[in-house]
Structures are given as structure tokens and as C-alpha cells.
Structure 1
Amino acid sequence: MGTLCDAQRKVDHWTMSCGKLLEDIREEKQMDGAGRINNEFRFFLSCDINLPVTFRVEALDGEPSPASSNSVLDEWHSVPELYVECSLYIDGVLFGLPTRTRLASVEKPYRWNELITLSAKYRDLTVDAQLALTVWDVSLPRQEVAVGGATLILFNSRKQQLKTGKQKLRLWHGREADGSVPTTTPGKVPKLERGEIERLEKLVNKFERGQLPHMDWLDRLAFKRIEKMKLEESKRTGKTNLHLIVDLRSFEHPVAFQELGTPLPTQTPNFSAGNLDLVTVWDPEVGRQNPSENKQLKLARSVARGVIDRDLKPNSSEKKEIQKILKHPPTRILSGDERQLMWKFRYSLKSDKRALTKFLRCVDWSDAQEAKQALDLMRKWAPIDIADALELLSPVFESEEVRAYAVTVLERADDEEFRCYLLQLVQALRYERSDNSHLTFFLVQRAVQNAELASFLRWYVAVELHPSYARRFYCIYDILEDVLKKTPSGEKQWQNMVRQTELTAQLCSIMRDVKQARGGTKKMIEKLRQLLSGLLSELTYFDKPISLPLDPKIMITGIIPSESSIFKSSLHPLRLTFRTETGGKCQIIFKKGDDMRQDQLVIQMVSLMDRLLKLENLDLKLTPYKVLATAQDEGMVEFIPSTSLAQVLNDHKTIISYFQQYHPDEHGPFGITAACLETFIRSCAGYCVIMYILGVGDRHLDNLLLTKDGRLFHIDFGFILGRDPKPFPPPMKLCKEMVEAMGGAESEHYGRFKSFCCEAYNILRKSSNLILNLFHLMAGANIPDIASDSEKGILKIQEKFRLDLDDEEAVQFFQSLINDSVSALFPQMVEMAHRWAQYWR
């Protein structure tokens, strides 16, 4: 017994003092950098790291005390649903958009284990940059409750070194994380408030990061003792702390804070004998503009303002250079010589509508006299196209007069064209300098004239509402509400929108209840129909018709329980059949727990490209089904009766056999009607081109669907802009079964397919500026594959257009892409592996 007591005392002594001793020794070694450790100068500067800020949200640690009146978790019902909202604050101001994790599972501890990628890069961070992390519970009906929040400062305050590895943050019960400086919700307990438990937690964190030595037998005893001490402390105080565990990104060397463009603090390296390591010396002039060149530029423009030769014309070589500049994509930054050339011949370029955006890019807006001259000239310029007007609404242009001019150009668009750009115009509100901007009132004005546009505007804005970053969106939301309520018809329209919101909230509640049913998908479907026929019978027959959020032209009157079902997938989306006011039916898919905004963007682009192709008399039989995000983790999708290509091949062996069942024609090609084959060929061509341009990844036979009339279309756009979970993906999804359905690689039908592809590619290349500008406006929308690196994503799309080629060269290029896609062997192996995985699943 005495031996055991002595061992216990030794464990306690190690727990209390060993970690502290090692920490002091480590700090002394780091302070002694000149002689031993830091003489190698191996570190990174934060301003040099052009990578997005990433970290992993792992789990929620700890259980709330039932006796605590401040614990929000006491009010949970049996199935809590938690997610973590992650925001980055720089100098107390929100940077970019918050990012949400998925909903946590019901098992405890609540785990997410989700990698979060923010739009900010490490080079953007300041010494006061901090992460604000809030755990929210959405299990309560129609409200989100803050479980607790914590703020993590990314740089060590004393060493100004980037924190890495696992961090255990104490949550402030019932409070949202505060990103102000100084924060009121620090995840690390201040020194003055630290007790023995907090000191031990800090040592445990260091132990988990590998900063303390491991000794298995002693570690087990120590952790057992720590848990016992924590339990005794919670019993004594009657309070249990919740902790959020996050894992920050680690680098090969320490990352020291350094602002972009700031000289490195001078240090005198102490070279030991024989040390021949290279030392990087900071040059403060690197990356800065040449002052003599800036002076020359100002003098040249000053002379031009004094004695202006309005009839000055460029010579032949200057004309060629100007034409080259005008062909630059909107992503291209003009060089100093190019800017000077555009300014010099600005008066001779007034009649060329393509030149205005390039001219405005070369203006020095900090020079009041030059800015005034540019604005006067802008008003006299030849009217520009709507694609160029969208470029003027990007964050590149801050002048309110320039942005107001862009709005006047957009007024020329009819409702159909305006609808194509509405999603991006809402996002452009982020870059306005005032709440009551011309763009805000323009959007409201167009919305009140068209009920369909008003409904979509309201949903696009509602998805972006959040207290910490949505001032512009709250402003337009309030203005739209006020304007609509001033007229009887507008008041009725607004009430209809409110009922749409109530409907989506009820559908979310149904999904939560249905997920509790045990016994698989069958039991869930029974539970769904039971709810619709019993407790929620008011959803089967509405008091008044409601316009369908997905398509406001359709008025729905209730849900048909017997024709509603649930898909067999991890999120268990609902397939709902609604009655319509005209006596018909419409089917939608409702998802909860998935961000639908990326799918919404892709389908919008498919619709736009379909319109551009049809304007050139090329109908490729596309199927741009409707998608609407009703929140950042929920949304609706139009249900198109169809069958996956994998299922078609499994049941019928070939695509032609499938068509023969529904469209037989013994005199037609391959025993089917010519119209059915033509539809299939055209739709294959259209989606091959569009999916290639958008860089859609993760293409397999389960997300290629086929309708009975021959239309092929794609679904599930979780990977775009070149991202793909599969190795070595082909340029486009064109499997051998699709080629065989056209008669093989030597058939005339396959030749027409390639002809349609090349024609569509060249048509869409003509509208490259429009598509690039639309994606540029979406850069701040926090859509996963854009937010990770918006500049890189837009450049990837630009690269797909191959603007360096003429039309003939583009045809040859695209034909080679088709050949590469058909002959690629590795994707066939991956597809086979995917089919086997689906079979065993």
C-alpha cells in the first residue's frame, strides 16, 4: 500500500511540474537563438505564404452540467443537431464570409472532423487576426441557438509566430464568438483567470502537439489523474466547461508574422565556424513600382491634360498594340506601357465600345483631376455591352459614378436576360460603397415590376443574411419589404413570400422527425406519409395557394402524401409531389444539410449557355433543371423523371436497347426514331462542352441521367473548376457506351456529334468575357470551389476557352480533347471500380 501511495504522489508531482519545467527549458533554448537553434534562420514569413487559411474542426469535448441555468444544451430535445460557424476577423473586422461545417452526428462526443478552407490567405493575415468559432444548435423549431463560442488568435502574442497543431478552445456558454480586438470570448483562458485545471489543459495541448516527451505508462496514470481532478473541480463548482477541438495547419518550419511590403526587422546573424548556410536578406524595394517610372507617367498625363490633341490618332504599330489590348480577357492586368497607350489615345477610342473598360482600368483614381476627366469622357463613350457593364460592377472598380453608369447599361436588359444575371448582381452588392446604392434601388425597382424576379431576389438575399457580414443584404431586404408593402398587390406578394419561408421551415422539421425513424429508408417513407396524413395534414391542403419557390409561376395547393418519398442516401432528401392550382402536379427534391449554392451556380451557367447557343440557332436539347438554395445548408431541386446511365446499362446492356423500349422504329437508325437519336447526340455534345468549360469533376455513370425522349444531362456538382476526387480524370465524360449508341467512332452520327461540340465551343468562346465576369462577381459568395482560391478558379475557366486560338485552331483543339476522352484507359478502370463499390454498397 505504501508503494502505491508513493507512486501516486510521483504521478501528481509529474503532472504539476514536469510539463512546466520542459516548457521553461524550451523557451530558454529559443531565447538563445544566436548561438544554437536560430542560427540556421529556417523559418517562413507569413507574407510569403500564398495559400488559403485552412484548419480542421474536430469535435466538441465535454458535457454541460444540468444544474447550470446558463447552459443552452439543457433545452435540447432528444436529437441535437450541431454545426460550427467559422469566421476570420482581421483587426476586428470580418474578412470574407463565414463557413459552416456539416451537422454533427448524434453520437457523443459530437464530431465533425471537417476541413475548413477560408477565402483569406496567410499572406493577408495581420498580427491581430483571429478565428471566431461558434457552435450552433438547430434542433429547436424555427430557430438557431448558440451553444457557445470562442475566439482563437492565430499568432502568438509574444513571439508573433503562427500557431499550429491541435488547439483546445474553451467555449463561452450561450454566446456567439466575438471577433473584436480585444475579444470578449477568448478560447484561451487569460493568465489571471487560470487555475490548476487550465494550466493542466495547456500542458495536455502541448503534449498532443508533440511538444512534450511521451512515456506511455506514466502518461496513462497522469491522464487518469487529470480526469479525476477535472471531475472533482466540476462537482465543487457545479460548472462543466465545453471545449472545441480544432487542428491548425502545420508547416515544415515556423511561420513568423510579417506584413506584405514591410521591411524585415534587422538581425545580425551569428555564424558559427564552418556554417555556410545562405541567409535571405530582406530588400524593402522588391515588388515596389519604379519611382522614376511613376514620375514619368504623371508628367506625361499632366502634359496631355494641358495641351490636348483631341485628333491624335495611333499609327499602324500602335493600332495593332491597342487591338491586342482590347482582346485581353477581363482578368488581365494592364502593364504600365499598355495603360499609357490607352490613356494617350482615349479620345480616338471613344467610338469603340470594347475600349471603355480597358480605359477605366488605366485611370489613376487617386488623382482628382484625372478621375474627373475620365468620368466626363465615360459619359460620351459609345454604349457598351451588358457583359462589360458587369465587369464595371466587380471589386476592381470602386468609383460610385462608374458603378452607377454600369447600372444604367443594365437597364436595357429585358426580364429574361436580367434573370440570367440576377444571382451575380445580388453578389455585386458586396462591393458597393453605400447601402443605398444605385444597384440596390435598380434591383428593387425591377423586382417590384415582376413577381417572379421579386421572389428570386428575396431568396438570393435571404441566403446571405447574417448579422456579422450582411449589412448590404439586410438593407436591400428591408427596402424590398417596404416597397412591396406600400401597395395592396405588393403586400399580398410579400405575404406569399413569408408563407414560402414557413413552408421550407416545415419541410426541415419533417426531415428531422423522419430521420428518427428506425428501420431504413422504407420506415422513413412510412413515417413521412404518416406525418403528412396526420399531424401535418395542413400541408396536404393549403388554406391559400403558394407560389413554388423553385418556380414562382407555379401555384401549389398541397402535398400528395402517397406520391411523396425519400431517396436512399446519407442526407435522405425528400421527393415531394405537389398539387398545382391548375389541377396538375409538380415534383421537387428538398435537401437539408447540403450547401446547394454551388449546384445553383452551375445550373445557372448551363441555362445561360443554353440561351447563348439558341441565340446562334443551335439547340442542343439541354436540361437546365431548376435549383434554389433556400439557406446555406438547404435547398430545392426540380425533379426530372429519368434513369441514371449506370442503371440503364445494368438493365438494358446498351443505350440503344433502352431507347428501343420507348421509341421503337424499325425504319429508323438502330431501330429507334431519328428524333430520339438526334436529341441524344445533341444533348451529349452540349454537356460535354459545358462540363469541360466549367471544369466539373467526379463524373461517373450514376450522375449522368437519361430521359425517355433521349435527353442526357448531368447532376451533382460537388466538384467544379478542375477539382476532381478521382486521379487522372479525362477532359470530359464521354464513355464508350455513349459512342456506341451513336454508331461507333467511324459513324456519321458520331461525326455530327463532334461537329456540334466544336460549333458550341466556338459560340461560347465569343461570350468568354461575359462568363468570366459573372464568375468574378461570385468570388465573395463563399461557394466552396470558388472561395478556396477565386483568382485561380477564374483563371482555370479562362484557360479552358483557349482565347489564344482562332476558330479553326479551336476546332482542332477540341477534336483532340474528344479523342483523348474516348481513348483514356484509366478513367474506364476508375469507373469499373466505382461500379463495384456501388454494387457492394
Structure 2
Amino acid sequence: MAPRPSSGELWGLHLMPPRILVDCCLPNGMLVSLECLREAPLISIKQQLFTEARKYPLYHLLQEESCYIFVGVTQEAEREEFYDETRRLCDLRLFHPILKVIEPLGNREEKILNREIGFAIGMPICEFELVKDSEVQDFRRSILSVCREAMEEREGGGPHTHALYVYPPSVESSPQLPQHIYAKLDKGRLIVTIWVVVSPSNAKQKYTLKIAHDCMPEQLIAEAIRKKTRSMHLSAQQLRLCVQEYQGQYILKVCGCDEYLLEKYPLSQYKYIRSCIIVGKLPHLMLVSKDSVYDQLPCSGFVTPSYSRRTPQPSPSPGGGDPANPRSLWTFNAHTPLRIRLICATYVNVNIRDIDKIYVRTGIYHGGEPLCDNVNTQRVPCSNPRWNEWLMYDISLTDLPRSARLCLSICSVKGRKGAKEEHCPLAWGNVNLFDYKDTLVSGKVALSLWPVPHGLEDLLNPIGVAGSNPNKETPCVELEFPSFNHTVVFPDEQQIEEHANWIISRELGYNYSLGLSNRLVCDSSISQAEAEQLRALCNRDPLYELSEQEKDFLWRHRHYCVNIPESLPKLLLAVKWNSRDEVSQMYCLLRDWPLMQPESALELLDCNFPDPMVREFALRCLMQGLTDDKISQYLLQLVQVLKYEMYLDNPLARFLVKKALTNQRIGHFFFWHLKSEMHNKTVSRRFGLLLEAFCRSCGIYLKHLNRQVEAMDKLVNMTDTLKHEKKDETQKTQMKFLVEHMSRPDYMEALQGFVSPLNPVHQLGNLRLEECRIMSSAKRPLWLNWENPDIMSELLFTNNEIIFKNGDDLRQDMLTLQIIKIMENIWQNQGLDLRMLPYGCLSIGDCVGLIEVVRNSFTIMQIQCKGGLKGALQFNSNTLHHWIREKNKGETYDSAIDLFTRSCAGYCVATFILGIGDRHNSNIMVKENGQLFHIDFGHFLDHKKKKFGYKRERVPFVLTQDFLIVISKGVQECTKTKEFERFQEMCYKAYLAIRQHAGLFINLFSLLLGCGMPELQSFDDIAYLRKTLALEKSQQEALEYFTKQMNDAHHGGWTTKMDWIFHTIRHMPNEH
């Protein structure tokens, strides 16, 4: 079920010709050919058609033209009815320019909504109707209850709660103001400018107020009213009444964007206000009428889809068991082994001359851990892949855990006499042994397999998706699972607890049926030395590999572990998941386990913990401890770990859908994170169903999302044309083509007046075509410039610049910038103001994305080239310092040097820890105010570029003489200055602060192992963080290790300069 391809406006054409012949089939049997403009709306085509139809026979059989709609066949080979007659011909994505005129049937409102949802998702949702899978249909119905609940929550409390959904407060997680930020205030007081726009002239009045940083927005409004009425000379009683009357009628809006201070949070907890305090800017807020905001809130009724009203059809048991009379798995004989029959394979496409034989490798897994030895079939010739072989596994049916899965792959064998055999996976697949109804799989199963992903080192892919490939032309394996007289189900909670009690009573010799809490009290004795050993073990980082002795030690003291909630991941890794005796006891422990810190609980969502009960516990921790701000911060990971969920309907999916429907900012990025992966067939069904549920319930915001999707589609078509059809043209010709096409009505309509995908509080107004350009890199990115339409735009920014990229995978950049932002938060909370600049970056599709342009910034290379040939060729290391001094004269010079020093320290530490590569002088930028930042994070975790097998970058991070001269304010012997010592101290503190949170960063990378980034394929890649954070060393040893890295960086700075020289020579003519 793949989404639609971006093949252009017409099949095989990126752009339609300006005029095109359209064949129109009328209900009276006439075929009329019309010459239409590519940007003609359907309503004008219909008018033209009916005018022309008068000249044809049988016109009298036609009704009024308003009784009809057009229908066409799209590029996905889907029949689509076009209800929106404002749509342009070039936007219909027709397979062929043929339109049929019909009378519409069925529920018009639902059909229009379904079409809008399909456009947003990128695939017709009627495809879900065709899926013969009861899990899909049951999920579509069950998730609607979450949608209704969310809609009632956001709209049941009146206009205020609805406003909180549309304009969710952007606040820090904690109201506590860090001491170094508090020090920037005047005795805890903050200066704020309040603006009032007087209608109808739009005259602007401002009032400057000095108030306590922790006062609430309504208190600030009251102060503004007092100041505004000061000239009226009111008595104290009159003033009090005036404030009471008007205070509740207004709310505060951030000038220049769609952000409001709606909730009772301290002013300094609002992110906008806090960022102003940090950078020393005056906050600008606008007083607006509450009623005017509430009146503009869109009504969002819920259209109940027709499929929810259908009675679900009971799915037949493939093994023939009776679903009405199920049998518990644990009632089987404990010695009954698992066995599976491999019958045959089809569509196995191999070169017979290169391959000797093929076989199927199989294994039973819990996450990435094998539950027993892998089993192979016999080897057979490629020409006849039939086995008809029963495979026996060294695990009993009763010991299968809830999350057990069969993993298999068709493998080839190649080898010559006397040479070592080569085994290679040709295709792989996984099958959950229990379905979403807890039923053990039985009977025959045809499993269409998946192509082998890049970087797969093993023959099996146990953490890959479970289920069949929707592409039926791939290799397919036919399996048979044992069939039983009854439907076999996994035991319920009562049976699990009874078994656990029986095991414990058998081991300890007396009955533990008093309950788990008593059991814990009775069995929690432990020596002090053992308790310290246990805590030390539980404090090890997530990548630490437990020995068998350590696993045994943890399990022996499992009851005491309840006193250390954060020990749960380690204890779960110690459980023998192929033993129901241990699993049942673990489930009972988990029932009473105290909630963990949410950042620690994130680990329980990675591929090592597939058990549904464990993941449900993890979600309870997140729901209890994560603020909306933290959910936004970790949303990238939370969306990705949906891939590790066994079933479509799971607590994490329900949680994310509900959050997305009660917080529009979260919903915005939830939509784009899902949509950006709809090209990936392994997740397109799961993500498509979640997108359908979200889009069906997000109300009028669906139209805003579709405006964004339409604009992005236009830009994809444009850049595809530039890359493929205009790639040999000159830059001037390409620019002429860009301006001509973007000036067309359909492009101007699509590319103006919509919400920015990068940040939903920003509106993109009119396109400033004269400021747009095609950048010089190979993928032909577009530098686009929009006006900010906000009435107070001059107080934030008057224009919005974004780079549109088509051809580069921006997911790695997104992850790196997210990590840098989290590092910045940690440093700020610990009193380190390192002024990082994690600019906006968003992947919106297959190698398509957007990047925020940072204002008033230049690459190091651009700055060096301003210093003439000596600067460009790195002979003069003073060029950067001279440039900063030229841009910051007088009192601002010291501030600029301080800002450069802080930001340089932050990026030195961040790029070292993350192993950021390709750090040439076009990937490091400096703002005019002195703030340094890095861009383009295509290489990380030490995957650095190589030349002739050697890494080009020979230093741990970039710290050249140019930077040191700026830090030391122009002194040539930089390392002997007090400024350099201060810089070093900042780096040391920053490094140790991140080291204290090593587990969080390892978890954030681990949760993304399944997303397919080329440089994040395995836990071995993430192990690089253990090395740079020196997690096997003491804090003092780690600091000494980092100090050595810093010395290597500035002593080896000459090697970086040499790399920069060659980069400058190669790119100087093309640098913008």
C-alpha cells in the first residue's frame, strides 16, 4: 500500500504543457475534446464543456450543469470524483487527460472529506477498505473512540479550551528560572512593551512596563490597563472597577506571529519571554480582544465515517479452531515443542550461475534476542524452492512469550571446492506468533518477504516489521503452523498470577497467595554490599552489556529492585523470556512497579522491549511525567518507535493521536513526521491509518495541512524539472524558468498565504520572487523568501526565508539539531549559557525537506574570502576577528566576542560528543553579532569522509587559530590568555554536564535504529557515544580524556586549515 509517487502533474510529465487537449465524456454518450489551459479550474472547464456540448447531438438529454461533477483516473490508477471545482487541471494528477461527467451518488460530505484526507496522506483512503485484514478494520473503528474523546476534551470546555488547542501555550517544562538567566533581570523585574492597535485606522500605541518576571499574563494586562488609563485621572475605586471590567476581555499575543499567552503560567516560563531575557531583547506583546480571537476559532464537527457503522465480520480462524471456545496456551503439556512447516517459496529471483543452492533460515525471537537456536531448512536448487519440511525448535509452546515472533529469510549459498561458503540473505520476513486478539497463529500462512535493507549484517532481521509485504511480486514463503481443535490464546492476568504464585510457593515451600505486596515485604532482605552493587549495576548506561552472572544477580534480587524504579530496564534484560516461570513473575512485579522518570522510561520503548505489558508500563510513566513541551521535544523518537509496536492498536498510538488532537502544535509535527515516511512500504499502512484518524478529527486544520502539502508538491515538481530537464542549462536560464513558472496563477495561489511547515505559528504571506534563487549545489535547492503578513511583523521579522531541498535526506540533520537543542536545555538548566542555534529543519518526504535560513549569518568561507586572497587561502588567521570587530564597534564588541566564545565552546563539545564530520569552512557559520553555529550534519557518530581509505579530518573537533584569535580578542599567543582559560573552563563544564545525561542521549539514538538512517544502523554505531563520553572511566579520568582531545584539536588545527584551503579552491566560484 505505497503512497502516490511524485511523478508530476501528468503521468510522465513533471509539468503540463501550457495548453492541453482534454477528452470529456458526457452522460448522453457524447465525447467532447476541449483545449484547456493547464491552470484552468474545473468550474471553468465545466462551463466551457457545456457551451461546447450545445453543438452536439442529444444535448437535450443533459440536466443543469450543477447536477454533475467530474471524475477521472489518477496516477495511482484510482477513480477519483472531483467535488471541489476550484481545483485546477494541473493539480488533479491525472493519468491521462480524460474526464467523465457523472451524477454524484452517496454521502457527498463524507466523500469530500475522504478526498481531502487522501490528498493529505498521499494515498486514497479507499485502499484501506480493500485490505482483507480484520486488524486493520478493527483499528479503524476503535481509534475513532480516541478521536471523539479528544474532540470532546478540546471543545467541551467552551471557547477557551478550544483556543488552547489551536494556540497551545509554548512554555518551558519548569517555571523555575535558572540563576544565570535571573541575573540578567533588574532585581527579578522584566521590561515589556505592550502594543495596542486602534481600529479602524490601525494606529499603534505602545506602553512600556516593568513587572515581576513571575507575574501571570492577566496581571500584565491589568498593569497595561492601569497605564493606559493613567491620563484619565481615575480614583482608586474607579481604577479598580475599570481593571475588573476590562482585564478579562483581553489576551496577550506575541507581536509578529500567531502565538498567545493564554494560560496562567509565569511570564518567564513562556519560551518567547525567556528567549528575550537570554539574548537581552525587549519582549513585544500585543493586547487583543479575547472575543475577536474566540470568534475566529473554526468549528470542527465530526463526520462519522460509514465504515464505523458497519457490523464487523468475524474473521475465520485459519487453523480451524473454535474462537467461541478458546483454550489457554498454558494448559498444554509443558514438553510440547514448537514446530513450523516450511512448504515452498515463489518469486525467488536469483542468478543460477552465481548461486549454488538456497535455504530458509528461521528463528524464534523476543525483540532482538533469540529464544532458542536458529533452525535451517535443507538446501535446495534455486530452480525448485520446495521443502515441505517440519522444523522443530528447542522451546515448548507453553514457554512462548507474548511478543514471540518467527523470523526467517531466504538465503543463498555460494562456494567452490576448498573455499569458505558464502551465505547471503535474499529476502526476509517476520510473523508474530500471537495476533492482536492474543490468539496463537495456526494453519497455513503465505508471507510475502521484504528486500534486504542496506547495512543488514545478519541473515535475519528480528527488529524489522512483522507481516506481509503488500507488494505481491516479491519472494513469498508458504508456511504452516500447527492447528488445534480450539483457538489457542495467551493466558490472561489471573492465570499468569496463579502460575507465578505456584512457582514461588514451590520454590520457597509455602503459599504466597497473600498477594504481591506482601511477597515483596517478605523477600526484600539484602546486604548493604549487595544493595550498593545492585545500584551500581542499575546506573550503568543503556548500552552496557550484562554478563550472565550479573543477570543472575539481578534476578535473585528482583524483589529489592522495586525499590530502585530505574532498575527496570536492566531487570527486564535479565529475564529469561523463554521461561514462563520467570515471565509470569516479572509480570506480577511489573503490576506494582513504581513509575519511572519519563526520560528513563523512554528506553523501554526501544526494540529490546517488545512485550506489550512492558510498553504499556512505559507509556504510563510518560503520561504521568511528560509535559506537552517534553512530548514535542521527543516526538521524533515517539513516532519512530511506533515501528516496534506489535499491533496497530497500542497504547502509544492512542496516546500520540490524542495528544495530536488536543494540541495543534504537536498535531502539526505528528502529521509531518508520519507523512515524511509514507514512501516506506514497511510502515505506510500503520502510519497511513494513524494519519487517517488524525486528519479525520483535526477539524479545519486539515485544510491548512493540505495547503502546505499542495505547496510542497509544487516545489517538488519544480525542482524535479530543474534537476532532470534543465540540469544542463545555465544558472541564468534556470532562474528565468523558475521565475516564469512561479509567476503562474496555480503556483502563486499554492505558494502564498499558508502556515509554515517549519513552525506553525508563522504565516508565509506573499512570495518575494525577486529574492528567491536556485542555489548552486548539485540537488538544486531553492532559497525562498516570503513576507510576514502579521500586522506587527517589524517587531519580529518582516520576511521568512526557507531553503527547500529535494534530493537530500534531512532526517540526520533533524536528529542532530534535536540533540543540540536538548544539550542547550541541559546547559541552561545548569547555569551554562552557551547560546546554541538549533535552527529549524523538517523532513517532509522521501529525501525532501525544509531548512530555516538564519538571518544575518555568513559561512566562514564567505568571511575569509572578504579578507582577500590571503584570507581565502588561510594565510591570514585574523580575517574572522577583523570581520567581527568591523560588525560590532564600540560597546558591542565585547558582547560579540563573549557570544562567539560561548557558542564556540558549545559547538566544540557537541560536535565532539556526536562525532560530527565534514566540518569544512562552508559548514560553519557566524552571525554578525558574533554567534557561531554549525550546519549540514550529513555525517555523525564518527562516520567521517575518507580519502584513499584515510579519514580526511584528523582532529576530534574544529578549533583553528582563527577561532582562538577571536576568543583571545586578537592576541596571537591565544592559549596563554585568560580568555582562553575561560573558554576551556566552559568546555569542561559543558562536557561533564552532558556526560551526566549520557543515558538520555544513548536512548534517543537507540529509539531511532529502525528509521533507516545510513549512519545509524546498529547499537555499534551508538557505542561511539560511550567512547566520547568516556562512560567506562571515572569523572576525573573522563575530564582528562576530554582535555587531551581539546589539546589535539587546537594543536592539530593546521590540518583543518589545509582541508579548508582545498575546499575553498574547489568551491570559491560557487559560494553564495
TM-score with structure 2 setting the length: 0.50
1:511 aligns with 2:726: no
Give the equivalent residue in structure 2 for 1:456: 669
From 655, 658, 683, the equivalent of 1:445 is 658
Moved more, 467-476 or 547-556: 467-476
Give the direction of change, closer, same or farther, for the CA distance of 1:359–1:467 in structure 2 (3 Å limit).
closer
Deviation of 1:462 after TM superposition, in Å, equals 0.9
The whole-number CA distance in structure 2 between the counterparts of 1:327 and 1:461 is 34
Moved more, 578-587 or 547-556: 578-587
CA apart distance, 1:250:
12
Q: Which moved more, 1:153-162 or 1:714-723?
A: 153-162
Match of 1:655 in 2: 880
Q: Which moved more, 1:333-342 or 1:734-743?
A: 333-342
Cα pair distance change 1:534/1:189, threshold 3 Å: farther
* Aligned equivalent of 2:967, options 720, 730, 742: 742
- Partner residue of 1:731 out of 936, 941, 956: 956
Equivalent-residue separation in structure 1 for 2:505 and 2:1007 (angstroms): 32
Q: State the distance in 2 between where 1:356 and 1:592 align.
A: 43
**1:346-745 superposed matches below 5 A:** 346-411=558-623, 412-466=625-679, 468-470=681-683, 471-482=685-696, 484=697, 490-515=698-723, 516-517=725-726, 519-536=729-746, 538-539=748-749, 542=752, 545-583=753-791, 584-641=798-855, 642-652=857-867, 653=871, 654-665=879-890, 673-726=893-946, 727=951, 729=953, 730-743=955-968, 744-745=974-975
Measured in 1, the distance between the counterparts of 2:989 and 2:711 equals 44
1:475-530 alpha-carbon deviations (Å, 9 max, x no partner): 32222123x1xxxxx32012211221111001112223445456522332333223
Cα 1:155–1:383, aligned 2, differ >3 Å: closer, same or farther?
farther
| Aligned-pair CA distance for 1:374 | 1.8
Alpha-carbon distance in structure 1 between the residues aligned to 2:506 and 2:678: 46
Partner of 2:357: 160
Unaligned 5+ segments in structure 2 are 1-7, 17-75, 77-89, 96-346, 360-381, 386-412, 426-501, 513-518, 792-797, 872-878, 969-973
Pairwise CA distance, 1:426: 0.7
Counterpart of 1:160 in structure 2: which amino acid?
K
CA distance in 2, matches of 1:761, 1:301: 51
Partner Cα distance (1:609, 1:826) in 2: 28
* Percent identical: 25
For residues 301 and 393 of structure 1, the distance between their equivalents in structure 2, rounded to whole angstroms, comes to 33
Which digits, 9 at most, give the CA deviation of each residue in 1:325-363, with x for residues without a partner?
A: 112211223222212211222222322222122122222
Q: CA deviation at 1:541?
A: 7.3
1:834 corresponds to: 1063
Distance in 1 (CA, whole Å) between partners of 2:994 and 2:1037 is 15
Aligned to 2:1005: 775
Matched, 1:343 2:559: no
User: What amino acid is the match of 1:529?
Assistant: V
Residues 900 and 932, structure 2, Cα contact 8 Å, conserved in 1: yes
Query: Cα gap change, 1:356/1:156 in structure 2, threshold over 3 Å: closer, same or farther?
Result: farther
> Are the aligned partners of 2:860 and 2:922 in contact in 1 as well (CA < 8 Å)?
yes
Secondary structure at the aligned position of 1:723 is classed as coil
- Shift of residue 377 of structure 1? 1.9
CA–CA separation in structure 2 for the residues paired with 1:159 and 1:509: 46
The 3 A distance-change label for structure 1 pair 540 and 442 is closer
Q: Which residue identity does 2:522 align to in structure 1?
A: R
2:470 aligned partner? none
Partner of residue 12, structure 1: none
Structure 1 residue 828, shift from structure 2 partner: 3.2
What's the offset of the Cα at 1:463? 1.5
Would the alpha carbon gap of residues 78 and 466 (structure 1) be closer, same or farther in structure 2, given more than 3 Å must change?
Answer: closer
User: Which stretch has the larger CA shift, 533-542 or 577-586?
Assistant: 533-542
Post-superposition offset of 1:368: 3.3
Q: Which of these residues, 758, 783, 791, is aligned with residue 1019 of structure 2?
A: 791
* RMSD (CA atoms): 3.7
For 1:599, give the aligned amino acid.
Answer: D
SS at match of 2:963: helix
Contact 2:679/2:846, CA 8 A, preserved across alignment = no
Q: CA separation of 1:502/1:332 partners in 2, compared to 1, >3 Å: closer, same or farther? A: same
The equivalent residue for 2:1038 is 810
Q: Structure 1, residues 698-748: CA drift from partner, whole Å, max 9, x if none? A: 111111011011111111111111011142521001111101111211111
Q: Is the 8 A contact 2:888 2:896 kept in 1?
A: yes
Return the letter of the residue paired with 2:850.
Answer: M
Taking the aligned partners of 1:709 and 1:632, their CA distance within structure 2 comes to 36
Q: Which amino acid aligns with 2:350?
A: I
Relative to 1, partners in 2 of residues 1:834 and 1:349: Cα closer, same or farther, differing over 3 Å? Answer: same
**Residue correspondence of structure 1 range 202-241 to structure 2 within 5 A:** none
2:560 is paired with a residue whose SS is coil
Q: Distance in 2 between matches of 1:305 and 1:402?
A: 29
Which SS does the other structure have where 2:1033 is aligned? coil
Instruction: Report how far residue 597 of structure 1 moved.
Output: 1.2
Letter in structure 1 aligned against 2:760: P
TM-score, normalised relative to structure 1: 0.63
State whether structure 2 residue 972 is matched by structure 1 residue 764: no
- For residue 401 of structure 1, what is the amino acid of its counterpart? M
> Which of 304, 320, 324 is residue 536 of structure 2 equivalent to?
324
- Further displaced range: 654-663 or 555-564: 555-564
- The 8 Å contact of residues 596 and 632 in structure 1, kept in 2 or not, is answered as no
CA contact (8 A) 1:161 1:257 kept: no
Rounded Cα–Cα distance in structure 2 between residues aligned with 1:541 and 1:827? 42
Q: Equivalents in 1 of 2:751, 2:802: separation in Å?
A: 17
Quick one: structure 1 residues 445 and 758, their matched pair in 2 at CA, closer, same or farther if it must change by over 3 Å?
same
Q: 2:714 touches 2:750 (CA, 8 Å); kept in 1? A: no
Task: Report Cα offsets for 1:256-285 as digits up to 9, x if no partner.
Answer: 4499xxxxxxxxxxxxxxxxxxxxxxxxxx
CA distance in structure 2 between the partners assigned to 1:539 and 1:573 by the alignment: 21
Give, as a single letter, the amino acid of the residue that structure 2 aligns with 1:737.
D
User: Relative to structure 2, which stretch is displaced further, 813-822 or 825-834?
Assistant: 825-834
Aligned-partner Cα distance in 2 for 1:695–1:831: 19
- Partners of 1:366 and 1:753 lie apart in 2 by 54
Matched position secondary structure for 2:692:
helix
Paired letter, 1:435:
L
- SS in structure 1 at match of 2:541: coil
Matches of 1:692 and 1:250 in 2, distance apart? 44
Task: Quickly say closer, same or farther: Cα 1:655–1:581, change in 2 above 3 A.
Answer: same
Give the AA of the match of 1:469. T
Q: Does the 8 Å contact 1:539/1:559 carry over to 2?
A: no
Provide the rounded CA distance (Å) in 2 between the counterparts of 1:258 and 1:635: 35
